[in-house]
Amino acid sequence: MSSSHKNLSDFSSKNVSDVSNKRFGILVSEWNSEVTDALYSGAFETLVANGVKRENIIKQYVPGSYELSLGAQWMAEKEDIDAVICLGCVIQGETRHFDFICSAVAHGLTNVSLKYNKPVIFGVLTPDTQKQALDRAGGKHGNKGDEAAITAIKMLGMNQ
């Protein structure tokens, strides 16, 4: 179901587990920062709205989405991090570079999650245009950051 038919910010906070003592890392790609900063705002506010303490949210930047995998590994290996939310925006250009980045990040984040047995959330937009990205970073289709945050909370609740 595309974001056009399911708003990214449309979720229920019912039955959300107690995350008041959980610590979340949020990695933010510096590429397309107008978009990724909006994703971060959505993720941060959603975490707080669902019971996460502000002081338990650790933000770090990486240069681009390709670096999210190593950044996630460095965060996930820390014992005091319970989940890592990875935020990026890869916009299709003229070449196949887009494909290689998107594939590398998707596989890389999955590998980190399985290696450290922690939720490592894929909050990466992969649009064709800047408009599509903005529509999913607080626009008409909601905020991918919201979705990533609630996904991290749900996964921690699943493993409690």
Ligand X SMILES: Nc1c(NC[C@H](O)[C@H](O)[C@H](O)CO)[nH]c(=O)[nH]c1=O
**Of the residues 2, 94, 117, 158, which one makes contact with ligand LTPLIIQW according to CB under 6 A:** 94
The span of 49-57, 65-73, 131-139, 143-151 binding ligand X (CB under 6 A) equals: 65-73
Give me the active site residues, please: 97
Token representation of residue 148: 């990533």
* Footprint of ligand X on 1-20 (CB under 6 A): none
Nearest to 93 by CA among 65, 70, 71, 62: 65
46 is in an annotated binding site: no
Token representation of residue 119: 């939720």
* Footprint of ligand LTPLIIQW on 97-126 (CB under 6 A): 97-98, 101
Asked if 153 and 12 touch (Cβ cutoff 8 Å), the reply is no
Question: At its nearest, how many Å lie between ligand X and the CB of residue 34?
Answer: 12
110 is in an annotated binding site: no
* Secondary structure (3-state) at 8: coil
Asked if 145 and 87 touch (Cβ cutoff 8 Å), the reply is yes
Q: Which residues bind ligand X (CB under 6 A)?
A: 29, 31-32, 63-67, 88-91, 101
